[in-house]
Amino acid sequence: MPQAHNPPHPADHVKPSRSFQSKVPAAHVAHAAEQHTAATRTNPRACLTLCGGDHGCPLAGAEPSSPGTDSPVLCVRIVSLDYHMAPPLPGRIRLLLQPLPRSVRLDESSSLSNNIPQLDGSSDENQEVPQEDGKVQDCLVTHLLKVVELLWCSLPPPIKKRSDVNVDGHVKTSPDGAMPTEKEPSVSFMSRTGKNSHATTDKTGRESFSRSGEHDPLCDSVRV
């Protein structure tokens, strides 16, 4: 799990004034400062975006970049679609239990929530402030099937078993399945199967997929 890190001191967000003066004209410095001040009042995320921008060109950080035109495109079939509640972030729980050091002041620019890493280790430029403890985020988990129409390079090879995965065989898991911390799905769609026919086991364990055929009503149901 990603570890929560200490929130940065407010002073860390302040850039040296000399950098501004030596890089851009005074008028641009004032304009950037106004944008920064306005962003701080209305949207702390914009503040974080500015601080993480190119220090040599502060104006570039004032506006979030849009996706490029040559983005890869996936052509996929949605094999399964599940809506469920994601578990709360462990780091947040730990943070709430620890007293804050005296040097840390809680305000918009240094909110602890803004520094809790995402569970999957990634970030989104439109990332909102995480919800309060006790609330969880809804997530839509989709399994997509990609085929030769893919216009994107192939994915990295499968994850090999790590040497540190050493289960002694005595670990007891929750009897309610793989995701004991997750709640029951609120929306669950079952994918359709093809025509009923006798299937054979692929003993090699290779990845495989099959083509669609006659609709099978046994596995076609939607529960809302």
Partner 1 sequence: AGYMMDAQIPGRHVSQFKPLLKEDAVYYIKYFEVAEARPQYRPIDRMVMAKFTAHTTVREDTEAPSTFPSHAYKVLSFDELRGRAYRKDILSDAIGIMTAIGPVQTVSCGGVMKAVLNVHITNGSETAVVALWGAHATQFHAENLQQQPDHGPVVILFVGLTVKFRDDQLALQGSTVCRWYPNAPI
Residues belonging to the chain: 224
187-189 and 222-223 beta bridge pairing: antiparallel
75, HSE (Cβ side, Cα atoms, 13 Å): 5
Judged by CB under 8 A, does residue 192 bind partner 1? Answer: yes
Q: How far is the CB of 113 from partner 1 (least distance, A)?
A: 14
* Binding mask of the shown chain, residues 43 to 82, with x at each position contacting partner 1 by CB under 8 A: -----------------------xx---xxxxxxxxxxxx
Minimum Å gap between C-beta 50 and partner 1 is 19
Does the protein bind partner 1 through residue 164 (CB under 8 A)?
A: no
Cα separation, 30 vs 21, whole angstroms:
10
Q: Smallest distance, Å, CB 151 to partner 1?
A: 9
Buried b (16+ CB within 10 A) or exposed e, 69-85: eeeeeeeeeeeebeebb
Among 97, 158, 163, 224, binds partner 1 (CB under 8 A): 158
DSSP annotation of 161: P
The CA radius of gyration of the chain, in Å to the nearest whole number, is 25
Judged by CB under 8 A, the residue of 29, 86, 104, 112 near partner 1 is 86
Could you tell me how many residues of this chain bind partner 1 (CB under 8 A)?
89
| Choices 32-40, 48-56, 108-116, 209-217 (CB under 8 A): range interacting with partner 1 | 209-217
**Residue 61 phi/psi, 5° resolution?**
-80, -10
Compute the least distance from the CB of residue 78 to partner 1, in Å. 5
Question: In this complex, which beta carbon is closest to partner 1, that of residue 12 or of residue 220?
Answer: 220
